Amino acid sequence: MSLSGRAALTGVGETAYSKSSDKSVLRLSLEASLTAIGDAGLRPQEIDGLIPYPGMGVVAEDLIVNLGLDEVKFSAMTPLGGASPVAAVQCASAAVSSGLCRHVLIPVARNLAAGGRISDRLRQMPQFNTVAEFELPMGAFAPAQLYAPMARLHMERYGTRPEHFAEIAISTRRNASLRGDGMMTAPLTLEEYLASRMIADPFRLHDCSLESSGAAAVVVSRKECARDLPHPVISVLGVAEGHPDSPTSITQRKDLLEIGLVKAAPRAFGMAGLTTADIHVAEIYDCFTYVVLRQLEALGFCRPGEGGDFVASGAIRLEGRLPINTHGGLLSQAHMVGMNHIVELVRQLRGSAGPTQVAGATVGLVTGYGDLGDGTLAILARE
């Protein structure tokens, strides 16, 4: 039995995004949750499945007690770092299509003052235990530091240049400028990119995503239940999760450039019965510019090693053949662990993405990238 077309994204919600917030992580979760539930045309009591985001201290019980849910039949967590929200969509799709429940709420919230800083991640995520024991004492533990050798190897092997990474930062910022509601909206030039300080060579400041406070949430519903709701039905056509070899240590990975998405992509496209040529818009997890470039290769939009040329061609710009991160992504809108990417894809497919709406977009994809290379992918379409 295929999951394809059996679940739908029926509601989306976001708070404002900012550097700091005086609201608790739970409060932020609840605000985005109520927006998403309302957007779906549901009453909170109709939510009967929950997938909270792991590591920030919000559990299903907190959502039950605050939202007044008395019919929760399913709860789970998908602890894959930045691949978690799309993995949660997969988990929720399986739950609703199996009949376990009808409407699954998936909130993500962070507050930088309450465990949301990148340097807190090591403690929050057990998949970092190996890094914490063997690499943290050396001074290398932050994602920028762990991914930099991957980017360097890509440059050495394929001739990828800083200008290629810059194009991802600049085109993403352009989208954020047009939208105007993200954390970074001032236009970014190549000169500013190249002059920004080095964090972990070859990553400059503008290669790195933001750190943000706020929340985003979605509701995944059984397809039959989605048809009576207010918005056009946005179906989950394909969804998959993949893990690279050596998923606890990038250092020990046979090929440093391998990522889980290489395994997930063929499964999700196969489930959807689609190819890359069918995709109108893509929201690509952009914790770092290089990670976008490598995922474009893994998805099959270009061959391995050709990511630099692909982005340099203008393909990923709003007017290009594959507009990406139309909301400004983690690089310029906010780092909401990629839940903001799922929210944006739903808006694009509803036709409600405002100044960065891709004309006629009815099929799109969204990826997640977990800290040490876990990959997730969902292909959504408007019915």
Partner 1 sequence: MSEALRPQPRTSNDTLPHWQGLRDHRLRLQRCAGCGTFRHYPRPLCPQCHCFDVEWIDAAGDAQVHSWTVLHHAFHPAFRSLVPCVMVTATLREGVRLLAPFKGDVRHLVPGLALRVGFEDISAELTLPVLVPA
77: closest CA among 98, 52, 105? 52
Contact residue for partner 1 among 113, 132, 184, 225 (CB under 8 A): 132
Q: How far apart are CA 114 and CA 77, in angstroms?
A: 20
Contact residue for partner 1 among 136, 178, 184, 312 (CB under 8 A): 136
Nearer to partner 1, 99 or 137 (CB): 137
Interface pattern 279-318 for partner 1 (x via CB under 8 A): ----------------------------------------
* Least spacing, CB of residue 87 vs partner 1, in Å: 23
Interface pattern 238-277 for partner 1 (x via CB under 8 A): ----------xx-xx---x---------------------
Number of residues that bind partner 1 (CB under 8 A): 34
* Least spacing, CB of residue 194 vs partner 1, in Å: 15
* Least spacing, CB of residue 70 vs partner 1, in Å: 42
Q: Which DSSP string do the residues of 212-257 spell out, in sequence order? A: -BEEEEEEEEEHHHHTTSSSPPEEEEEEEEE--SSTT-STT-SSTT
SS3 63: helix
Contact residue for partner 1 among 24, 134, 192, 266 (CB under 8 A): 134
Is residue 196 a contact residue for partner 1 (CB under 8 A)? no
Q: What angle, 0 to 180 degrees and rounded to 10, lies between the N-to-C axes of helices 289-299 and 162-179?
A: 100
Per CB under 8 A, the segment of 135-143, 215-223, 298-306, 344-352 that binds partner 1 is 135-143
Interface pattern 146-185 for partner 1 (x via CB under 8 A): --xxx-xx--xx----------------------------
Q: Which residues of 223-249 are buried (b: 16+ CB within 10 A; e: fewer)?
A: bebbeebebbbbbbbbbbbbbbebbbb
Q: Are 91 and 78 in contact (CB under 8 A)?
A: yes
SS3 323: coil
> DSSP state, 52?
P
Q: How far apart are CA 294 and CA 289, in angstroms?
A: 9
Phi-psi region of 176 (alpha: psi -120 to 50; beta: other; left: phi over 0): alpha
Q: Which residues bind partner 1 (CB under 8 A)?
A: 118-119, 130, 132-142, 144-145, 148-150, 152-153, 156-157, 197-202, 248-249, 251-252, 256
